[in-house]
A and B are shown apart, each in its own frame.
Chain A
Amino acid sequence: MAAPVKVYGPPLSTAVSRVLACLLEKDVEFQLVPVNMAKGEHKKPDYLKIQPFGQVPAFQDESITIFESRAICRYICEKHADKGNKSLYSTNPLVKASIEQWLEAEGQSYNPPSSTLVFQLAFAPRVNIKQDEAQIKLNDQKLSKVLDIYDQRLESSRFLAGDEFTLADLSHLPNTHYLVTVGNRGEAFSSRKNVDRWWNEISSRDSWKKVVEMQKSK
């Protein structure tokens, strides 16, 4: 029997939690390896060997080492196509194309403003960094525009890529969770009818609830 895969990094990290959600959806056994970021462990030579940009997560499966959370998720889904949630990343080329499109949209359009806001609203205060009001305002506006587009899309589609919950939706979980809790941005989501429905549905999945529990206990 194969050894469990290894995920390096704290569950509190949005990118790490993206991978954890995917592993739980796919029912793939994993071992979480702590990386002490407060002590700069992620910038030390031993860690840089597996992630040259000094970021979390990193991932190992038997002899392969990979990084970049979305690449890790794709790998997990492709290797274990028949395990757990099979429609997470379809093998049908046309369905896959739609998933890829919205996964790219998440990475290119949703992630930049939402991760800036998560940093400014959730993490900066914790590490005594002064919040940048101008950045917050600018990114609130950008996020608003993206959510308008999402609301329109979700009017005619249950999930972003189609009728099923996929990697494209999953990828949004980490940043959005922080935005609606610590970040106090719940209204941006609840005030948009379809986004509200979608967020409530994806955030109440068992896999995501487990990830949130893991974040609380570390």
Chain B
Amino acid sequence: MVMKVHGAVLSTAAMRVFATLYEKDLEFEFVPVDMGAGEHKQERFLALNPFGQVPAFEDGDLQLFESRAITQYIAFAYKDKGTPLLCEGKPMATVSVWMEVEAHQFDTAASKLQWELMFKSIFGMATDAAVVEENEAKLSKVLDVYEARLSQSKYMGGDCFTLADLHHLPVLTNLMGTTVKKLFDARPKVSAWAADI
């Protein structure tokens, strides 16, 4: 039975899961969820994710939500397929640290900026300049730490590309299409890493 990803192509969280599946060369079925029509808040979908958010995931009898839990499951369960995405033993702790950093430090500021500068205009809403300014300042501080980290390490988790890097991709890609790109361009190591991944 083929793995299923329930989501929407615009969803950065769903993209995190797609990226992992492509890296590992795994077949899956994409089940579109019509968020415009509120499908993600209806009973059928809530049975898959009680928080009413995308993505939701199925692998046989296993049902999961939370993109970062899904990607980790895939990376462990299909360890031997495609790109490793995780490291065995000691360096796993370091990958774990930078996965948390992405989730708690990077994503908080970055997804607010993405919302203000990209999604709002798609939905015909006005950008809040104060929110943009506040979160650019926060993201700048995070990227300063990243610049120092990437001066000591080729990728966020160590020498190899892992989930700690991959988890950044969806929001990072969106931000590169906005004025926030300047924050990445201003930092050589970060800029090179972003281009690489």
Interface residues of A, Cβ cutoff 8 Å to B: 52-53, 64, 66-68, 70-71, 74-75, 78, 93-94, 96-98, 100-101, 103-105, 107-109, 149, 152-153
- The smallest beta-carbon distance between A8 and chain B, in angstroms, is 14
Are A71 and B97 closer than 8 Å at their CB atoms?
Answer: yes
Interface centre among A66, A108, A153, by most B CB within 10 Å?
Answer: A108
Nearest CB of B to A173, in Å: 18
A103: nearest chain-B partner, CB-CB: B69
CB-CB nearest in chain A for B95: A71
Q: Does B44 contact A (CB under 8 A)?
A: no
Docked pose: A168 CA to B73 CA in angstroms? 16
> What are some 17 contacts across the A-B interface (CB < 8 A)?
A66-B94, A68-B96, A71-B93, A71-B96, A71-B97, A71-B100, A74-B93, A75-B96, A93-B73, A96-B73, A97-B69, A100-B72, A101-B65, A101-B66, A105-B51, A107-B100, A109-B51
Flag the segment in B101-109, B175-183, B184-192 that touches A. Answer: B101-109
- B194 close to chain A: CB less than 8 A: no
Tell me the minimal C-beta distance from A168 to chain B in angstroms.
Answer: 10
Contact, CB under 8 Å: B66 / A108: yes
Please provide the 8 A-B residue pairs with the shortest distance between their CB atoms, ordered closest to farther: A68-B100, A104-B66, A100-B69, A71-B96, A101-B69, A97-B73, A75-B93, A71-B97
Give the interface of B toward A (CB within 8 A).
Answer: 50-51, 62, 64-66, 68-69, 72-73, 76-77, 90, 92-94, 96-97, 99-101, 103-105, 142, 145, 148-149
Contact B66 A100 (CB under 8 A): yes
**A93 contacts which chain B residues (CB < 8 A)?**
73, 76-77
Question: In the complex, are the beta carbons of B73 and A67 less than 8 A apart?
Answer: no
Tell me how far the C-beta of A101 lies from the nearest C-beta in chain B, rounded to whole angstroms: 4
- What are the residues of chain B within 8 A of A108 when measuring CB–CB? 66, 103
Q: Which of A74, A75, A107 contacts B104 (CB 8 A)?
A: A107
Q: How far is the CB of A21 from chain B (nearest CB, A)?
A: 17
With beta carbons under 8 angstroms apart, the residue of A68, A78, A109 that contacts B92 is A78
Assess A70 versus B100: contact at CB under 8 Å? Given A64-B93, A101-B64.
yes
Q: How far is the CA of A61 from the CA of B76 in the complex (A)?
A: 24
**Which chain B residues border A101 with CB–CB below 8 Å?**
64-66, 69
Kindly report which residue of chain A lies nearest to residue B148, judged by CB atoms.
A52
In the bound complex, residues from chain A placing their C-beta under 8 Å from that of B90 are 64
Distance between Cα atoms of A134 and B88 in the complex (Å): 46
User: What distance in Å separates the Cβ of A77 from its nearest Cβ neighbour in chain B?
Assistant: 11
Which A residues are CB-close (under 8 A) to B94?
A: 64, 66
Q: A67 touching B51 by the CB < 8 A rule?
A: no
CA distance A153 to B63 in the complex (A): 14
Q: What chain A residues lie within 8 Å of B51 (beta carbons)?
A: 105, 109, 149
Query: Given the complex of chains A and B, what is the CA–CA distance between A71 and B149 in angstroms?
Result: 17
Most chain A beta-carbon neighbours within 10 Å: one of B50, B94, B97? B97
Closest Cβ of chain B to A76, distance in Å, is 10
Known contacts A108-B103, A152-B50, A153-B50, A97 near B64 by CB under 8 Å: yes
List chain A residues, Cβ under 8 A from B97.
Answer: 66-68, 71
Which of A68, A94, A152 is most buried by chain B, counting CB atoms within 10 A of its CB? A68
Q: Using Cβ atoms and an 8 Å threshold, which residues of chain A touch B100?
A: 68, 70-71, 107
Contact present for A66 and B62 (CB under 8 Å): no
Docked-complex contact B50 and A53, CB < 8 angstroms? no
Question: Closest CB of chain A to B129's CB: distance in Å?
Answer: 20
Q: Hey, which chain A residues are within 8 Å of B148, CB to CB?
A: 52
